[in-house]
Each structure stands twice: as C-alpha cells, then as structure tokens.
Amino acid sequence: MTKAIYFDMDGTIADLYGVENWLENLRAENPMPYKKAAPLLKLNQLARILNILQKKGYRLGIISWLSKNSSENYDNAVTKAKMKWLKSHLASVNFDEIKIVPYGTPKEKTVDFPKGILFDDEEKNRKNWIGQAFDETKILEILKAL
C-alpha cells in the first residue's frame, strides 16, 4: 500500500479567508486573495517534516479547488496564483502530485492515492475521504507522529 499525504490549500495551509474582502475579490474574478493569503502554520516546520516523510516513502500531494462559478480565464489565473504560492512558501518540498480542480470536485476521486491522509478544513471532504482525514488544526502534530 502506498503511503500518501494530501493537503487542501484554502483554509488549511493558506489563509485565503483572512484576506480582506476575499469574497468580493473572488466574485470579481480577482486572483489577489490567492496571491496574498498568509500561511496558516509555520511552513518551514511543515517543509522539514514533509521532506523527512518523503524520504520515508510517503508521497506528497496538494488537492485544491478553484473558485466557485468562475470563467476559464479566472481558473487559469487562480491556478497560476496557487502554484506560485506553493513555490514561494514551500519551495523545498517536491510534491508528487498537485491537483487544482473545479470547485466541488470530489477530492477522493481526483487523486492517485485516496486511501492516504487528507488535511482539509471542509468537513464534507473529510467525511467523503476514503483514507484518514483531519482538519487543519493539528497538522504538524499529526505529521510528527507518523
């Protein structure tokens, strides 16, 4: 069995909802909140732990939704902003899989290893996940225990 760890971005590792006027900007198809979102945890610690786990055989992935009711151009801008955010904040992590998919896409049907671990702030995603799923509150503690 392949060991895998997946992370949602918005509300899990990136504080999209803490960006001022985030919803108004998303509705206006402005990707600024995705660019400006602050990290929700100490990403240098996260990167260090993830690199250790990857050496132990874990596959690492990102599974994140695009904005609700968005155009193709905006989806492209959001994807670019999310990829840049990852490169900027988690540059030392070599993710095996990054999936940025339309809003509402079942995450468990999108990734290569749905029996892995998922960290996601969305309860529905955690309930539907096939493997173990956790919210965003204890990411570092849970990963350190692996």
pLDDT at 69: 86
pLDDT at 81: 98
> Does the pLDDT at position 122 exceed 70?
yes
pLDDT digits (tens, 9 = 90+) for 33-55: 999 999 999 999 999 999 999 99
d(CA 108, CA 77): 24
pLDDT at 92: 96
pLDDT digits (tens, 9 = 90+) for 58-91: 999 999 999 998 999 999 999 999 999 999 999 9
Mean pLDDT of the chain: 96
User: Would you give the distance in Å from CA 18 to the centre of its chain?
Assistant: 16
Count CA within 13 A, CB hemisphere, residue 84: 13
pLDDT at 1: 55
CB 101 within 8 A of CB 9: no
> Does the pLDDT at position 124 exceed 60?
yes
> Does the pLDDT at position 2 exceed 90?
no
pLDDT at 146: 94
**Structural domains of the chain in order of their starting residue, each with its CATH number:** 4-144 (3.40.50.1000)
pLDDT at 111: 95
Tell me the residue type at 9.
M
pLDDT at 31: 96
Split at pLDDT 50, 70, 90, the class of 19 is very high
Residues 6+ apart with CB under 8 A from 97: 4, 6, 59, 60, 61, 62, 63, 111, 112
Phi and psi dihedrals of 111, rounded to 5?
A: -90, 165
Tell me the residue type at 6.
Y
What is the mean predicted confidence (pLDDT) over 14-43? Answer: 96
CB 108 within 8 A of CB 124: no
What is the mean predicted confidence (pLDDT) over 95-123? Answer: 96
Instruction: Name the nearest CA neighbour of 60 among 78, 48, 70.
Output: 48
